[in-house]
Chain A
Amino acid sequence: MRDYVLETEGLTKTFVPPTGLRRLLMRSPITETITAVDDVSLEVRPGEVFGLLGPNGAGKTTLIKLLTTLLQPTKGFARVCGYDTVYQEHEVRRVIGTTIGEERSFYWRLSARQNLEFFGTLAAVPRRDLGGRIDEVLRLMGLEDAADNMFYSFSSGMKQKLAIARSLLAEPRVLFLDEPTKAVDAVTANELKRLVKEKLSGESGRSVLLATHRMEEAEQLCDRLAIIQSGRIVFCGTIPELRRTVGDVEECVLRMQGMDAQRCRLLAEHHRLSNPTVERPGNNGMVELRFSSGHDGVQLSNVLRDILSAGGTVVSVDRHERGLEEMFLHVVRGEARAS
């Protein structure tokens, strides 16, 4: 059996609206039974950056809360470094670091160092090591010059960095990053991504579970990823595997003159093009034909030959591979249609 730092099997979380006296005493945001995480089984290997992608409300944060012991599952189980998240929650918390990006999760009238001293003590960092660890994580995040400034004077990017610094204090074996680049500018986002890749996972050998909306972030950082939709994992694997799953195709865009739209449609039909669209982008007689095609270029060559033999002029040919975002949308929409 392979050793995983994180594994779940049939993990399910269902929220039910309160009943009886509790319903009478408190209005709940839950008015009907919701399955936020549905039969999730996944594994994360030592040292890998594992992405968790999904649209808003897909269940990413609920899954992270289940894995970090903040929630109890309704069914199934989760283990972190071999510890059960329900029966050994204390042990689980000793091996994880969690970046709660919420800026309210710090004391605004305490300095960065004082905040880290407080949370470091709670994280069971030995007293003799705490000062050194704080200096180390502040240096790692580039916050050493702001260490004694009150938290409320920090910018959004600095707050986010401090949240990551806090999660590293106890040198966790598994790091949970929930939307680490949310609400930060492009420069800070790039800096954070470099940190995750080089310092938080690469050199340290730590496993990172990264929940994100940002496809380019997942593409740059993740060794493997899971796409979650309506609480269910609809894909789990590497990006090349995702590419194979959604079809090894690229998108072709041909711009031409001397061909009308109707002839283009007939051409698309004749060559049985996949997902063809025909548009007239302006009034200059230009026609644009888009379609999905295989990498070998045979179909594209045939189409080009027929355009030229029909008297048309090809103005431009653009080919591009599907990005993660397109593949993600393909999987998510496909799943939505299926359900």
Chain B
Amino acid sequence: MPADVVAAFVKRDFIMERSYRAAFIMKFVGMFMGVASFFFVSRLVGRAASPYLAQYGGDYFGFVLVGIAFIGFQGVGLGAFSSAINAAQSQGTLEAMLVTPTRLTTVVLASSVWSFLWTTFSIVLSLVVGALVFGAKLGRADLLSSLVVLVLTSLVFSGIGIWSASVIMVLKRGDPVSWLFGSTSAFIGGTYFPTTVLPVWLQKIAHLFPIYYGLRAMRLAVLRGASLSQIRGDVLILAAFAAVVLPLSIFTFRYAVRVAKKDGTLGAY
């Protein structure tokens, strides 16, 4: 993907984001309020949750802080590509981009870079606020393991997101892929509670979702300082998910573009 094209998209999105100043500020306030809310929920839950969280160090606040940060990444991975297409279709800019030599795949991938950057920034900020203001214990984090898990999980979510964009390309709205993953992952993957509190049959279903492995590995890396070799099982499973989902999703996306070009609905919404 050409770097100057990526830079052009990031600059475009930054200028537009900055031009809505109130929304820009409110996002920070909202993030702070979210972290504060979970801090007080963790005080309410207190030691009662500790037996279920033993493998992550027993602290609910740190546990849930990593969970909500991670679900943010899932959200952007699942939604950024289809949102980029949807926005360009409804704004009317898609056809103007598609008559340039820049390929549609590049347009879609580059359109989502700002969302990933912004989400990374907000997640880092919420972890810093959680640690410095509310005393979350994140000091033991293994940065290399966290980074590897983050990259692998982002690739898997992006693959699913590109699938979702393919559906949007053809159906315009009502994409079942992001609906399925978006609505069930937070619950079944254990964002707000450990999956061990779920019934056994649901725990088995949770194993089918990449977020289960991503969250578990990330929590171990951040809260317990687990090294790559200690979380290699989860890392390998995430890599396998990425190796299957990404090529399949790019193939599906190209097919969807061909269908839209045939139907004449490329710029329609």
Q: Which residues of A contact B (CB under 8 A)?
A: 13, 15, 18, 22, 25-26, 36, 62, 65, 68-72, 90, 93-94, 96, 98, 100, 102-107, 109-110, 114, 117-119, 121-124, 127, 166, 170
Asked whether B99 lies within 8 Å of A96 as measured between CB atoms, the reply is: yes
Complex: chain B residue closest to A102, CB-CB: B92
B93 close to A (CB within 8 Å): yes
Question: Residue on A with the closest CB to B173?
Answer: A26
B93 near A72 (CB under 8 angstroms)?
A: no
Q: Name which of B4-12, B47-55, B120-128, B200-208 contacts chain A.
A: B4-12
In the complex, which residue of chain B has the Cβ closest to the Cβ of A96?
Answer: B99
Whether A121 contacts B92 in the complex (CB less than 8 A), given A26-B172, A109-B19, comes out as no
Main secondary structure of the interface of B (DSSP, over half): helix
Q: Looking at B95, B107, B266, which has the most chain A CB atoms within 10 Å of its CB?
A: B95
Q: In the complex the two chains form, is B263's CB within 8 Å of A119's CB?
A: no
- Please tell me which one of the listed residues A15, A98, A104, A118 contacts residue B99 in the complex, with CB atoms under 8 A apart: A98
Q: State how many angstroms separate the Cβ of A135 from the closest Cβ of chain B.
A: 18
A71 touches B261 (CB 8 A): yes
B15 is an interface residue with CB less than 8 A from chain A: yes
Chain A positions within 8 Å of B12 at CB level:
107, 110, 114, 118
Identify which of B16, B174, B264 gathers the most chain A CB atoms within 10 Å of its CB: B264
Q: Given the complex of chains A and B, what is the CA–CA distance between A121 and B172 in angstroms?
A: 27
Given A69-B98, A118-B9; 10 other pairs, CB 8 A cutoff: A22-B170, A71-B264, A90-B101, A98-B99, A105-B96, A107-B16, A109-B15, A121-B5, A124-B102, A127-B4
Residues of B with C-beta under 8 A to A109: 15-16, 19-20
Interface 0/1 of B82-110, CB less than 8 Å to A: 00000000011101111111110001000
Known: A62-B264, A98-B99. A104 touches B8 (CB 8 A): no
Choose one: A26, A102, A170; the contact of B171 (CB below 8 Å). A26
Q: Check B232 for interface membership: any CB of A closer than 8 A.
A: no
Q: Are B101 and A124 interface neighbours, CB within 8 A?
A: yes
Interface range for B = 35 or more
Q: Please give me the 6 A-B residue pairs with the lowest Cβ-Cβ distance, nearest first.
A: A104-B92, A121-B8, A105-B96, A122-B100, A98-B99, A122-B102
**Least CB distance, A174 to chain B, in whole angstroms:** 12
Most chain A CB neighbours (cut-off 10 Å) among B15, B20, B93: B93
B190 lies within 8 A of chain A by Cβ: no
CA–CA, A72 and B171, complex, Å: 19
Chain B residues 1 to 30 lying within 8 A of chain A, measured CB to CB, are: 4-5, 7-9, 11-12, 15-16, 19-20
From B9, B95, B262, A72 is in contact (CB under 8 Å) with B262
* Cα distance, A104 to B97, chains bound together (Å): 12
Query: How far in angstroms is the closest Cβ of chain A from B43?
Result: 42
Is the pair A70, B98 in contact by a Cβ cutoff of 8 Å? yes
Contacts of A119 in B (CB 8 A): 96-97, 100
The reply to whether B100 and A123 form a contact with Cβ atoms under 8 Å apart is yes
Which B residue sits closest to A68, measured CB to CB?
Answer: B99
Is the pair B19, A25 in contact by a Cβ cutoff of 8 Å? Answer: no
Chain A nearest CB from B82 CB (Å) reads 15
Whole-angstrom CA separation of A258 from B158 in the bound complex: 87
In the complex, what residues of A have CB within 8 A of residue B15's CB?
109-110, 114
Instruction: Tell me, in angstroms, the Cα distance from A186 to B165 when the chains sit together.
Output: 43
Our pick among B93, B95, B266 for the contact of A106 (Cβ within 8 Å) is B93
Task: Check if B140 is an interface residue, CB within 8 A of chain A.
Answer: no
Please state if A104 and B91 are interface contacts (CB–CB under 8 Å): yes
| A118-B263 in contact given A22-B170, A90-B101, A104-B91 (Cβ < 8 Å) | no
B91: A residues at CB distance < 8 A: 104, 107
Question: For residue B98, which residues in chain A have a CB less than 8 angstroms away from its CB?
Answer: 69-70
B254 within 8 A of A: no
For residue B22, give the distance in angstroms from its CB to the closest CB of chain A: 14
Q: Given A18-B263, A22-B170, A117-B8 in contact, is the A69-B99 Cβ separation under 8 Å? A: yes
With both chains docked as a complex, state the minimum distance between the C-beta of A113 and any C-beta of chain B, in angstroms.
11
Q: Within the complex, what minimum Cβ distance (angstroms) separates B254 from chain A?
A: 13
B20 surroundings in chain A (CB, below 8 A): 109
Given contacts A105-B95, A110-B16, contact A70 B100 (CB under 8 A): no
Residue from A13, A18, A94, A170 having most chain B Cβ neighbours under 10 A:
A18
Contact A105 B93 (CB under 8 A): yes
| Proximity bits, B235-269, A CB within 8 Å = 1, else 0 | 00000000000000000000000100111101100
Q: Whose C-beta in chain B lies nearest to the C-beta of A126?
A: B4
Assembled-state Cα–Cα distance A123/B15 (Å): 20
| Least distance between A134 CB and chain B CB atoms (Å) | 13
A124 to B101, CA, bound (A): 7
